Structure 1
């Protein structure tokens, strides 16, 4: 909470049926979009954590959270999410948090799990896009930092994703999860500016193929967004708190 650059931090202590309201400088509200999201007594930043079932997700309208609209050549941010994945198989990659609308070609940034591109499975992925659409020559976006280590299920992990306008990086439990050619991932093109009707900020899913999908399933105990790139030492210290 005391680190410079914090925008919003959600600890997910609210009861099912209530908006999740961030602590910090920007009290951004995450609304339930597919029924009440239960809480369970397995929290990290309090007694509870939110339990997202497959098909559930949270949303903050773009107009309500301009501070999360990272875009342009000098865009910089950090996302940290504390997750306990369900021990189940799902046929799609899993979106954790970001502004990412594939349907309308308004991708900006998003923290993912299990992207299944570039010979990956179950690792953390940090998607970035300067154009908003698919990568030329591919049916989907391929510009992403991808770690080397599978994120195990049924255990708490801290997943982090940073971008500084030049490199996208992903971290697992406070450590840069290095993978040659993909993490750090060179991407100096900046982030897409979706304008007034760009992507909303979503947690647990994104808009894709004309509908909401790429659902995350499991617990989320905390989510922090910073408007700058945290250092490796800062991420390590936060993860070890």
Structure 2
């Protein structure tokens, strides 16, 4: 039937189909090998002032908030650049435009994978997710550096800083019996400043898990974190998808401060083998000179023998 079209319309149709096909193929090789269930992937190579467009069949546009958000010229992960998010800035997709990013329900599954370099020391840095604390519209979100972690066996929080956290909620508001949501996994390893790492969370309907550089960063009673209730359905008035901040206490906050070079969201939970393969297929830039120096073992000079 397409052959009967007027030559002009035929040309336009071919151009459109070519563009759609090119967009669908426009994924890094490391992502094409792990494309099953992939909702969106961003590489953050765009210039400041431009929306960050995802790769894949359904483009998602992250708009700058409190921008323009400059790109780092110190090298990226999936290209020469990355986005340098300063505290107080973030990216957002409005609720009506979430489509498959609106992951919810009793059978919901999700993976959030982010390639980031931490710069700021502040607590409660939101990396990415659908999470509105102010209006009780929490669904899922990957966080960095909560001051506490929740022990699953006690449902109490204890000091646990500089980790990554996979937050999940089936109720949207605070955990029953609590003012806030405390259902989240927490990693065993502290995340240093000035280094690129692959940080990830998964939820498979049974547990929230967090991964560091592709490996399940297990910590007894903290990671994995049992949670079988599913994810909240925020409805038409639910939370937007945000990168670098969430709405809490009536205003925007929980700001991420650092560099983000890649972000992938899946509507399924990657297993341990898949997460490791994905992380290992993406070379990370070396740490900054300052970070590398901080890793050097400290040598205490020996005292000279007494004369």
Q: TM-score range by the shorter chain?
A: over 0.9
Retained in 2: the 8 A contact 1:204–1:217? Answer: yes
Structure (1/2) with the larger strand percentage: 1
Aligned residue in 2 for 1:6 = 38
Partners of 1:136 and 1:58 in 2: CA distance: 30
1:21 lines up with 2:53 in the alignment: yes
Aligned residue in 2 for 1:147 = 187
Shift of 1:26: 2.2
Aligned residue in 2 for 1:132 = 172
- Helix, strand or coil: the match of 2:194? coil
Partners of 1:214 and 1:25 in 2: CA distance: 31
1:226 lines up with 2:257 in the alignment: no
Q: Which of residues 99, 112, 119 is equivalent to 1:79?
A: 112
- Helix, strand or coil: the match of 2:92? strand
Q: Which of residues 158, 161, 174 is equivalent to 2:214?
A: 174
Query: Tell me, which stretches of 5 or more residues in structure 2 are unaligned?
Result: 1-30, 150-158, 282-307
Aligned residue in 2 for 1:192 = 232
- Helix, strand or coil: the match of 1:99? strand
Structure of higher RCO (CA pairs closer than 8 Å, 6+ residues apart): 1
Partners of 2:54 and 2:88 in 1: CA distance: 22
Partners of 1:69 and 1:164 in 2: CA distance: 16
- Helix, strand or coil: the match of 1:131? coil
Report which of the two structures shows the higher radius of gyration computed on alpha carbons.
2
Partners of 1:233 and 1:60 in 2: CA distance: 31
Structure (1/2) with the larger helix percentage: 2
Aligned residue in 1 for 2:8 = none
Retained in 2: the 8 A contact 1:117–1:142? Answer: no
Query: Tell me, which stretches of 5 or more residues in structure 1 are unaligned?
Result: none
Shift of 1:117: 2.1
Aligned residue in 1 for 2:127 = 96
- Helix, strand or coil: the match of 2:96? helix
1:34 lines up with 2:66 in the alignment: yes
Shift of 1:139: 2.4
- Helix, strand or coil: the match of 1:130? coil
Shift of 1:140: 1.3
Aligned residue in 1 for 2:96 = 63
Partners of 1:165 and 1:200 in 2: CA distance: 22
Query: Aligned residue pairs: how many?
Result: 239
Partners of 2:44 and 2:203 in 1: CA distance: 25
In the superposition, the TM-score normalised over structure 1's length comes to: 0.97
Partners of 1:75 and 1:238 in 2: CA distance: 22
Q: Which of residues 101, 116, 125 is equivalent to 2:147?
A: 116
